[in-house]
Structure formats: C-alpha cells, structure tokens
Copies of this chain bind each other. A is one copy, B any other.
C-alpha cells in the first residue's frame, strides 16, 4: 500500500492511500480519517460511500465529517466509487462506468473484469484497512450520499450483523424503478430483474429490512427527487415497521451543502450505535 498524502486534521490524520486491488483488478485509492484515539488502540469505523462522478476525495474535502468523527473518536473511510484506469471499461455517460460503480459485482461484459464494488467495499477494503490501521472490525457503521446512499443501505441489509447502524443522504432508494438504476443494473447485472433485487433498498426493505437503526435525510427541494424515489423507501420502511428516522428537509437540495448541514446528526447517530 502506498501513502499518497497524510494531513493532520482535527487532532487526527486524514490520509489517502493507494493499493493493488485483487477484487477490482486495478489500483484503488481511498481516504481514511483516523481520530487521535487511534494512536492508543482500535477505534470504531464509519464508512462513507459517495455518489455518481465522485472519487474518494469529494466527501473527504466537502462533507465536513471529520470534525464530528473526531468529536466521537470514530474513523472514516472514503472508498472510490468505481475501478479506474486506462485498462478499465468506461462509458461516455456520467452515470455508467468509471465513477458510477453502483456498489454491485458486475456479471456482464465489458464491466465484469473490474466492476466488483460490492466485494471491494464488503470484503477487500475492510481487510486492507484492518491489516494496516487501528480499526475495530467489530464496530462498523455505514452511510452514503445518493448512489452511495443506495450502496450503504443495500450493503447494510445484504450483510446482516456487519454494520451496527446505517444512514443515508438522499439515497437512490428504488433503482429498479428509476432511470438511476435500470440502465446501470441492466448493464452490470443483465436484463433479468431478479438479479437486481439484492441491490434495491426498497425491495430489500420489503423482504426483510435492517437489524439496527436507520437514519435517512432527504432534501425536499432535491433536483433529482424523481430519480431517487424516496417515497418508495419511506413506504416500505413504514410497512416493515423498521426502526428508522426518515426526515424530509425543507428547502435543501442534492448538494454537499445539504450533506454537510446534517452530517453532525448522522455521525452522532452512528456514534450512539458504535459506542454502545
């Protein structure tokens, strides 16, 4: 693993690291914030999955999460959103290919050789981080924004017992019924919609839900509400009697100003679960 940068931040360290990924079959870069408590031993970890077009860097510099992670003594991981590089398939559209991995393991060409973001976030990167840093793998939580909120919710429901809590900012809530989903799930997983069900938070909520608390914030002025379909997930949560807070935030849009405005609440929510 190669250290690309390390900056002192909020009493801890904000690092950026590159490693050869077996799962994605290319080099992958991630950001990791370690609070100062990590000098004394393993700390809980909150995963932050980013949205379309983002790299590891966007949320690391714009979401304002480190200040609250430092306050609660929690590490933050910022994975990239897809495999990257000259040898990796891509598409001209911003919402397919590099920068748009959708947190699935692609089974279709040309994506299958590299686009395995589910296994990368669920299996490989946790091993890489656990081996190199003072992280407590028994205390993990996950959050994300937009496509990353989709990833956080589906990983949390798909890996019972892994994450103590899950939250999301304006998640793609029902991709199999949205243009942010149908195109990508077809490309990555094929036309058989049965393969999509484990990657649709609304469908997963209807058939099981999450064994812990959920917090979701959605801007009422989000310019992508039609694509996100929050009403589908909200209905499923209510029908499932899932422990959850689903908050519609008046006036807020889809930007990082929305994300950062509610980050304090999300980190505190996860801290409650992680330090219990």
A interface list, Cβ under 8 A from B: 7-11, 14, 61-62, 64, 66-67, 219, 221, 249, 251-253, 255-258, 260-261, 264
Q: In the complex, A9 Cα to B69 Cα: how many Å?
A: 20
Most B CB within 10 A of own CB, among A8, A251, A258? A8
Q: Please, which residue of chain B has its CB at the minimum distance from the CB of A10?
A: B261
Query: Within 8 Å CB of A249, what residues of B?
Result: 8
Q: Specify how many copies of this chain sit in the oligomer.
A: 2
Q: How far is the CA of A255 from the CA of B13 in the complex (A)?
A: 12
The reply to whether A14 and B64 contact each other, CB–CB distance below 8 Å, is no
Indicate if the CB atoms of A7 and B260 lie closer than 8 Å: no
A253 touches B61 (CB 8 A): no
Q: A252 — which chain B residues lie within 8 A by C-beta?
A: 7-8
Q: A7: which B residues are within 8 A, CB to CB?
A: 252-253, 255, 257-258
Question: What are 14 of the A-B contact pairs (CB < 8 Å)?
Answer: A7-B258, A8-B219, A8-B249, A8-B257, A8-B258, A10-B261, A14-B257, A61-B256, A64-B64, A64-B67, A66-B257, A66-B260, A67-B67, A67-B261
A257 to chain B, nearest CB (A): 4
Known A-B contacts A14-B257, A257-B14; the reply to A221 vs B8 at CB < 8 A is: yes
With contact pairs A61-B61, A62-B62 given, residues A9 and B257 touching in the complex (Cβ less than 8 Å): yes
Say yes or no: A8 contacts B253, CB within 8 Å.
yes
B-chain residues with CB within 8 Å of residue A10 when the two chains form the complex:
257, 260-261
Q: Tell me whether A8 and B261 are in contact (CB under 8 A).
A: yes
* A251 to B10 Cα, complex, angstroms: 11
Interface centre among A14, A251, A256, A261 (most CB of B within 10 A): A261
**Cα(A61)–Cα(B257), bound, Å:** 8
Q: Which of A7, A14, A255, A264 has the most CB of B within 10 A?
A: A7
